[in-house]
Amino acid sequence: FWSDQYNVRIQFAGHARDADRVDIEAGDPAAHSFLAVYYRGGQPVAVLGANQPRLFTKWRRQLNAARATAAQNAPAQTTAAQPALVASASFA
């Protein structure tokens, strides 16, 4: 998502919910211009940018590429057999 708030362009991509580390990769939050990367298990999972549109776009593309690679390497999903529905049942 993105939003412009008081002359600050805020951009966010990814899923930071289970991140175990956040690093400021560029800029300074006090100056309202920075890029923060969220990591889980050493892998980037989300990025937050404030007035860093070019760097944000670079990181967003990296996240998308990593997600696509992970999806390709994931085991195939199988559908478990569903139990047959009983047309009529009697309960004693």
Per-residue model confidence as pLDDT tens digits over 45-74: 999 999 999 999 999 999 888 777 766 666
Rounded to two decimals, the pTM is 0.70
Beta carbons of 20 and 33 less than 8 angstroms apart? no
**44 domain-assigned:** yes
* 92 pLDDT above the threshold of 60: no
pLDDT of amino acid 23: 92
Record the tokens describing residue 74, joined without a space. Answer: 């994931």
pLDDT of amino acid 18: 87
**52 domain-assigned:** yes
Q: Any idea what the CATH number is for the domain that residue 68 is in? A: 3.30.390.30
Q: How far is CA 18 from CA 10, 55, 57, in A?
A: 21, 23, 22
Which residue range forms the structural domain that includes residue 65? 2-73
**33 domain-assigned:** yes
The pLDDT tens digits of the residues spanning 5-48 come to 888 999 999 888 888 999 999 999 999 999 999 999 988 999 99
User: What is the amino acid identity at position 34?
Assistant: F
Task: Report the candidate in 1, 8, 47 with the shortest Cα–Cα distance to residue 26.
Answer: 47
**29 domain-assigned:** yes
Number of domains in the chain: 1
